[in-house]
Amino acid sequence: MTDRLPPTEAENPQSAGLDLLSTSALVELLIADQRTAIDAVLAQAPAIAAAVDEIARRLRRGGRLHYVGAGSSGRIATLDASEMPPTFGTPPEMVQAHIAGGTTALVRAVEGAEDDATAGNDAMLECVRPEDAVLGVSASGTAAFVVAAIVRAKTLGAYTIALTGDADSVLAYAAELKIVPPTGAEALAGSTRLKAGTAQKVALNAISTAVMVRLGKVYDNLMVDVVANNRKLRGRARRLVVRLAQVNEARADELLAKAGGSVKIAVLMQRRSLNAAQARALLEQNNGMLRQLL
């Protein structure tokens, strides 16, 4: 009896003869096949919303969000986690990524890493607390590193989520909540860096961004907790203060300098006639929620 084949490992009849296509037809097919990813993730919006609410609740109380993945899934998860501090001003430990094989696996494959259940288990023992949330990412839902991590995280009291392309996978059954964008067979059989990877990135983007909105890291649709550490972002911070504090650029620069680069503090200083210390204290008293202070 053979092992059950995950949908992401099947051959796609629509891409048969891939190597015989003209370059134009080849490129068109590869791009068109990605359309499935967006529809698949959109169908999972209720499950994603449930994950967002629970993750935000835990982070608001001092918990952390951990992503766990292997191979392409781990790299996509690591990318999303790494974008949180510059985009939303979060401490690095708030959203963490754990990839099978460690940092070496970010740039090259580490043989056998995704099959190392012990490493997944140990990673959670070292890092996870009961108030945390742990999201396992595996297109096939079979990566032992990820499955073991989710199983251990659950025993530690963390909230567990599976992001997988197979609703009947061991990962899907291991987690408390499953998010299953059914992207199916890839144009290049088994290459889940294609539409399965696209679905993972869309889902993780939606989860992390929505969580940060719920934590007050966003005002309107503006990135008000941006860390302005380069010319482009300093310009963005200035524009935000000009708009929200209703001042000119010179005044915005003056406010930002006094606010230590914080858009929120700069805006409150102007709008509420406060000094930087007062504005910072007011923000802290209101859990960083700028909306209720303007």
Joined together, the tokens standing for residue 244 give 């929200």
Query: What is the Cα–Cα distance from 58 to 93, expressed in whole angstroms?
Result: 14
Instruction: Name the DSSP letter for residue 6.
Output: P
Task: Give catalytic status of residue 9 as yes or no.
Answer: no
Query: What is the Cα–Cα distance from 123 to 97, expressed in whole angstroms?
Result: 11
Query: Length of the chain, please?
Result: 294
In the chain, how many H helices and how many E strands?
13, 5
Q: What backbone phi and psi angles, to 5 degrees, belong to 16? A: -60, 140
Residue 106 CB neighbour total at 10 angstroms: 15
- How would you list the strands of the sheet with 133-138, edge to edge? 95-99, 65-69, 133-138, 159-164, 177-179
Which of the following is catalytic: 9, 28, 54, 114?
114
Query: What is the Cα–Cα distance from 230 to 106, expressed in whole angstroms?
Result: 25
Q: Which residue shows structure tokens 């960083």?
A: 288
Collapsed DSSP state (helix, strand, coil) of residue 90 = coil
Which of the following is catalytic: 9, 11, 28, 83?
83
Give kind and range of the element (H or E) at residue 264.
helix 263-271
Task: Give catalytic status of residue 93 as yes or no.
Answer: no
Q: Which residues are known to be catalytic?
A: 83, 114
